[in-house]
Chains A and B, each alone.
Chain A
Amino acid sequence: MPDFRSLVSFGPGAGRKLKRLALAAARIAVGVVFVAAGAAKLGDPASFADSIASFRLLPGVLVSALALGLPPFEILSGLLLAIGWRRSAAALSVLIATGLFAAALVSALARGLIIDCGCFGSGAPSAGRMWLDLLRDLVLFAITAAVYADSLPRHRRATEPQASSPAATRRSPKI
């Protein structure tokens, strides 16, 4: 019979396992959200360009470049994040993107613009939806920040004995 006690018990390793599991689930979820957002925009770059232009932040040349480049960027970074390959770079990509999306939405709200962010394809412009989009971006940003922090190499190394630490030196044979 399988031992389920390790799953329900709160032994020394259980908290760490649970955290690892939660972070993996969050990483996959954010990755899937990003892939879906990119795929929704990929088929209609003209509508997405209209959404970007409505923010009134970028010149015409950059609007088209962003409308063409951002959907593949979201799909690729979301895919990398979900599968866990080049995890730190993928998490940093998502972190930068969500940070910029949130900043653009805050800037539009501050200027009183009622627009459609085009985040998941085109839709009707509404102030209420802009606040919800901002909230979703901030939640994604916070989750991705936790995933990114966990993926940094210092976290893994902190739990391993250092070659130069006194304990490691004591264990290593003298040559």
Chain B
Amino acid sequence: MNVSPTRVFSSQLAEVAALAALSLLLGFALNRLSGRPLVLTYQTPEQRLVRQLGELVKNPPFKLMGSQTLGLEQFRRVLAKQRPLVLDARAASFYREGHIPGAFNLSRENFGPDYQRLSATLGAARDRPIVVYCSGGSCHDSKLVAGALLSLGFANVRVFTGGWEAWQDARLPVSR
């Protein structure tokens, strides 16, 4: 039987298309099974880092121990003697309204971009004590940010549990 070359080529192209479709299905299935799946819309390495940092702060693998918390008086002593890096874990709008003098804003809510913005400051403070605070009372943001920092390799991280509320109640100086 004589088959026309066009027909042969068309059937080969159909097989190539089937192979491509099968490969795509296989690729998506493998991606779904993978521990670190690729998101379907491409993200640059910087965007991926921000996303991973955002995921890290939601549930940091390293948790803070009870001994790594500070009350107001302990915090004031640390401030005077150890010159720690102070981080405000509240949202940027609260930070702008008022914060502890010298504190940087590393919010839980916007952790990835904030971490990148402060990367030089944080990098220089790897061997310095770091104290994180949030609103005070039962707020968890400072613990989550401290846990994320511990997970990222910062060894000397503590939480000022009294937070912004205790600082204001003590009528201590405020920066805006």
Residues of A that sit less than 8 Å from B by CB: 42, 45-46, 49-50, 53, 60-61, 63-65, 67-73, 76-77, 80, 86, 88-90, 92-93, 96, 152-154
Contact = CB atoms under 8 A, between A and B. Distances in A.
A93 B17 CA distance: 9
Interface string B30-61: 11001010111111110010000000000000
Interface of B: 3, 5, 8, 12-13, 15-16, 19-20, 22-24, 26-28, 30-31, 34, 36, 38-45, 48
Contacts, number: 84
A68 B28 contact: yes
21 contacts: A45-B27, A46-B45, A49-B38, A50-B44, A53-B42, A53-B44, A60-B42, A64-B38, A64-B39, A67-B42, A68-B28, A68-B30, A68-B31, A69-B27, A72-B22, A73-B23, A80-B19, A86-B15, A88-B8, A92-B13, A92-B15
A60 B12 contact: no
Contacts of B22: 72, 76
B44 A76 contact: no
Contacts of B45: 46, 50
Nearest to A77: B19
